[in-house]
Structure 1
Amino acid sequence: MSVTDKLAARIPGIGDRGDRNKDVVAVVKLHGVITPQGSPLSRGTINLAAVESALTRAFGHERLKAVALLINSPGGAPTQSGLVAERIRQLADKKQVPVLAFAEDVAASGGYWLACAADEIFAHRTSLVGSIGVISGGFGFTGLLERFGIERRLHTAGANKSRLDPFSPEKPEDVEWLKKMHSQLHELFVEWVRERRGDRLTDGEDLFTGDVWLGAKAVELGLVDGVGNLREVIAQRYPDAEVAVAEPKKPLLARLGIGSPAAAMLDAVNHRAAWSRFGL
């Protein structure tokens, strides 16, 4: 081996530390809340910018046999859910390899949207799966302003520019507008699930109410293909393959464990609220 080869073998991403003659099953971890912009302190967020490099590495193996998505997400932003799922399909179609999704604690809402990017979905018998719906929430502070004698001054051009302003009284027409937006997003979610799951979905129960089910029931409903975990399924289907994990990189401040306590607290509260909807 030349000096160059020896150096390359020691540099991650250049040298291949595994057996180059072995088939590979790449695993991508998709853990956390789906958000447009991850906090520099956050250890668990999903968006296209955060997972792009991991997806590219996973689908870039020369002897790739399959890609496994290890999903643990309560959902989040619909656009980022769609962007990540579409990117997975683009890479899978280009490489012509199967994609398997494995739900851990929860693959709900946007987390299930991601799972549907796979050709097959597996879940643990205790996994929470589904939540095919749309939700948004906020707070109103009008009473708080009045209590402290604070006057809200808001100037706009455009009749609907200040819709759902948290410091102004809620207007019925704004709520009606929001419900219409929710309905449109819900329709897109349902279309995606029907497109990806096809005739595997059952007709006996309304699957699109936003409800969630445990793994075995999700199999009965056609939301999931089987009860199983990544280790056992990969071992059965690809017993001789090498497993290569491509995990999204954590933000620098999260890796160092430093940052603003206030920002970290707010980030933790938002993420805690998303997980708590599923008792986690």
Structure 2
Amino acid sequence: MFLAKGLTVAILFLMVALMLGRARRETLPGLQSGHLDVEALNDRYQAEADALRTLVWDDAAWKAERKARKAEAKAERKRAKRQAEGEPGKARVFVLQFQGDLAASAVQQLRHEVSALLAVAEPGRDEVVVLLESPGGLVHGYGLAASQLTRIREAGVRLTVCVDKVAASGGYLMACIADELLAAPFAVLGSIGVVAQVPNIHRLLKKHEVDVELMTAGEYKRTLTVLGENTEAGRRKFQEDLDETHGLFKGFVQQWRPQVDIERVGTGEHWYGQRAVELNLVDALRTSDDYLRARAREAELYALHWRNRRSIGQRLGLAFEGAADRLLLRWWQRSLHEPRF
């Protein structure tokens, strides 16, 4: 009994923390306080390689490597001096990560990261790489996230999107904006469609003689309801709204990827990477690791991550919300009826 009471109190506390955290986060989404973390990826890649070199290289190889690095450091100082005098330096690649959930809540960090990099990125020279993973979600959330990536294109900065696992529905709405869209061979892409479902328990309530009064002002203020009796007119209007949203979705994809046959791919289906290339949904098959390490040989890479300041209640709420999102993602993956390895 003591354990059961304790669990009950803990669950109630988490639910209250979730509601408080969500309320605090959604009050002024564009004005949260926080800070921007920046990591030099070139240094990380070199440190990772050095950890292995110390085990497999002999002293002579290490000596030659240190000598080569000293020469490179000297050349880099000269390049920095010329850059200070007005000569263009090495290109910079700003790396962002978008891990999508149902509400596209990562857009709150994305907007800060994009604003920061656009303040320093040079059109025609620098590049933004977005590591995108999302099965999609709410229309308005992913619409705003897509608008943030549109800001990069409109500023004249090259945008590359890498998809290693999934960019479906709202995730593909974001991905299609890229100058170049790369995907791993078995990444899931597409799902250019709109879905909505509304449970209705009117017959159950009627069976138990429970009346529900729904008052509206405006013919289509409410089309389908959970408790009341749905009408054919309401169903038709609901379907019209879905079709209109789908048309906007297809038009957006056609705008940014005119090479696709939108009537062929705008059916709500999803495809794996290889097939997505054939349908022009993707430009090439390549993992993000391969692309970034190749770019590191000729450019300076910087990973950006905006971190909001959060109270303890918000952190607990986000932990609970994250667990719910992971359950939803697993359900979505199962709903694809995709084969398992």
Q: Could you say whether these structures have the same fold, taking a TM-score greater than 0.5 normalized by the shorter chain as the test?
A: yes
Q: 1:184 aligns with which of 234, 244, 248?
A: 244
Partner of residue 24, structure 1: 92
Question: Which residue of the partner structure matches residue 281 of structure 2?
Answer: 223
Structure 1 residues not aligned, in runs of 5+: 1-11, 39-44
Which whole-Å CA distance do the structure 1 matches of 2:115 and 2:233 have between them?
44
In structure 2, relative to structure 1, the CA distance for the partners of 1:235 and 1:268 (3 Å cut) is: closer
Change (3 A) 1:255 1:213: farther
Indicate yes or no: 2:131 matched with 1:70: yes
Q: Aligned ranges for residues 120-131 of structure 1 at < 5 Å?
A: 120-131=180-191
RMSD between superposed Cα atoms in Å:
3.4
1:252 Cα offset (Å): 2.8
What is the DSSP-based 3-state SS (H/G/I as helix, E as strand, rest coil) of the residue aligned with 2:164?
strand
Q: How does 1:240-255 map to 2 (within 5 A)?
A: 240-249=298-307, 252=310
Q: Tell me, in whole angstroms, the C-alpha distance in 1 between the residues paired with 2:36 and 2:150.
A: 24
Contact map agreement 2:213 2:228 (CA 8 A) in 1: no
Match of 1:211 among 269, 273, 292: 269
Partner of residue 88, structure 1: 149
Shift, 1:87, TM fit: 2.5
Contact 1:59–1:67 under 8 Å retained in 2: no
Contact 2:223–2:237 (CA<8 Å) still a contact in 1?
no
Aligned-partner Cα distance in 2 for 1:16–1:225: 28
SS at match of 2:302: strand
SS in 2 for 1:222: coil
CA deviation after TM superposition for structure 1 residue 212, in Å: 0.5
Q: 2:38 touches 2:304 (CA, 8 Å); kept in 1?
A: no
Q: What is the Cα deviation at residue 268 of structure 1?
A: 5.6
Provide Cα deviations, 1:165-220, integer angstroms capped at 9, x if missing partner. 11012222111111111111111111111111123x258x8111110000011001
Does 2:166 correspond to 1:98? Answer: no
Q: Report the CA distance between 1:163 and its aligned residue.
A: 1.9
Determine if contact 2:101/2:136 at 8 Å carries over to the other structure. Answer: yes
Q: Structure 2 stretches of 5 or more lacking a match?
A: 1-34, 44-75, 81-88
Structure 1 distance, partners of 2:255, 2:183, is 20
Of 52, 57, 67 in structure 1, the residue corresponding to residue 111 of structure 2 is 52
Task: After superposition, give the CA deviation of every residue in 1:48-98 in whole Å (9 maximum; x if it has no partner).
Answer: x3421122234344567210111111111223323222232223332x221
Residues in 1 aligned to 2:149 and 2:206: alpha-carbon distance in whole angstroms: 50
TM-score if structure 2 supplies the norm length?
0.64
TM-superposed CA distance for 1:267, in Å, is: 5.5
**CA separation in 1, counterparts of 2:91 and 2:180?**
20
Compared CA separation, residues 25 and 180, structure 1 to 2 (3 A): same
Post-superposition offset of 1:153: 2.5
**Cα distance, 1:271 vs structure 2:** 5.1
20-29 or 214-223: bigger deviation? 20-29
Q: CA, structure 1 residues 27+262, in 2 after alignment: closer, same or farther (shift >3 Å)?
A: closer
Tell me how far apart the structure 1 counterparts of residues 258 and 215 of structure 2 sit (CA, whole Å): 49
Counterparts of 1:84 and 1:263, CA distance in 2: 19
- 1:66–1:97 contact (8 Å) kept in structure 2: yes
Q: 1:235 to 1:76 in 2, by over 3 A?
A: same
The 1:174–1:105 alpha-carbon spacing in structure 2 relative to 1, beyond 3 Å, is: same
Query: For 1:143-162, what aligned pairs fall within 5 Å after superposition?
Result: 143-146=203-206, 149-162=209-222
So what's the TM-score if we normalise by structure 1?
Answer: 0.77
Shift of 1:229: 1.4
- SS of residue in 1 equivalent to 2:264: coil
| Cα contact 1:86–1:117 (8 A) shared by 2 | no
The CA deviation at 1:30 is 1.2
**Distance in structure 1 (CA, Å) of the matches to 2:193 and 2:332:** 14
State the alpha-carbon separation in 1 of the partners of residues 322 and 127 from structure 2: 37
3-state SS of paired residue (1:252):
coil
How many residue pairs get matched?
257
Counterparts of 1:226 and 1:246, CA distance in 2: 25
Q: Computing the radius of gyration over CA atoms, which structure comes out larger, 1 or 2?
A: 2
